[in-house]
Amino acid sequence: MEPETITVLDHSGWTPDPVAVHRVLADLVAGGAALGWVDPPAPDEVAELLDQVLSQARSGDAALRVAHLGGRLVGLGYWRRHARPTHRPHADLEKVAVDAAVHGRGVGRALTAALVADAGAAGIEVLTLDARGDNTRALGLYRSLGFTEYGRLPGFVAVGERRYDKVFYMRDFRTGRR
């Protein structure tokens, strides 16, 4: 039996499905994933976030990618251009989320690689991201895709009584820099 093919779509090739996006994000956060929420987000919060990112993607200020496996949405990721006029050449990779049931099957790599390619095509000079320090799989993925660590805030992320480092990574698209 052949393995299922991962399909990665951009915002123009995808019919928004806030229910499926909420399912992925809420399940991951409920399982302890480092996505910026302590408790699973509400459906309306996810729908509003999705509307914002889609609007920005349509105007060229963001990129949104979704991944399907076997016809089911199993991941999403996006970056957004910085709003400050002095930071407009740069963007921040804000979320890459992959359904825990398909971890290790290349979905995160496919999403992130597509988003990196989108940033380069959009003329982004520096793509940044931050991640929780215990998210070693994600940090390894980012390094393998050309990101470098440029800083760390020890014990900055608070999840109840637990504290984690906040790790900053960058991918520099400017000629001759990394």
How does pLDDT run across 3-16, given as a tens digit for each residue?
689 999 999 989 99
What is the rounded average pLDDT of the residues 55-72? 95
pTM above 0.95, yes or no: no
Helix, strand or coil for residue 99? Answer: coil
State pLDDT tens for residues 86-120.
999 999 999 999 999 999 999 999 999 999 999 99
- How far, in Å, CA of 168 to CA of 114, rounded? 20
Determine the pLDDT at residue 176.
Answer: 58
- Could you tell me which residues are beta bridge partners of residue 80? 62, 92
Q: Residue 155: name the closest of 142, 145, 164 by CA.
A: 164
State pLDDT tens for residues 118-168.
999 999 999 999 999 999 999 999 999 999 999 999 999 998 899 999 999
What is the rounded average pLDDT of the residues 49-64? 96
- How far, in Å, CA of 57 to CA of 51, rounded? 10
Determine the pLDDT at residue 175.
Answer: 74
Determine the pLDDT at residue 13.
Answer: 87
Q: What is the DSSP string of 23-51?
A: HHHHHHHHTT--SS-SSPPPHHHHHHHHH
Assess contact for 63 and 9: CB atoms under 8 A: no
**pLDDT beyond 90 at 178:** no
Assess contact for 84 and 102: CB atoms under 8 A: no
Whole-Å CA distances, 52 to 7, 45, 46, 49, 58? 23, 11, 10, 5, 10
Assess contact for 159 and 124: CB atoms under 8 A: no
Determine the pLDDT at residue 36.
Answer: 85
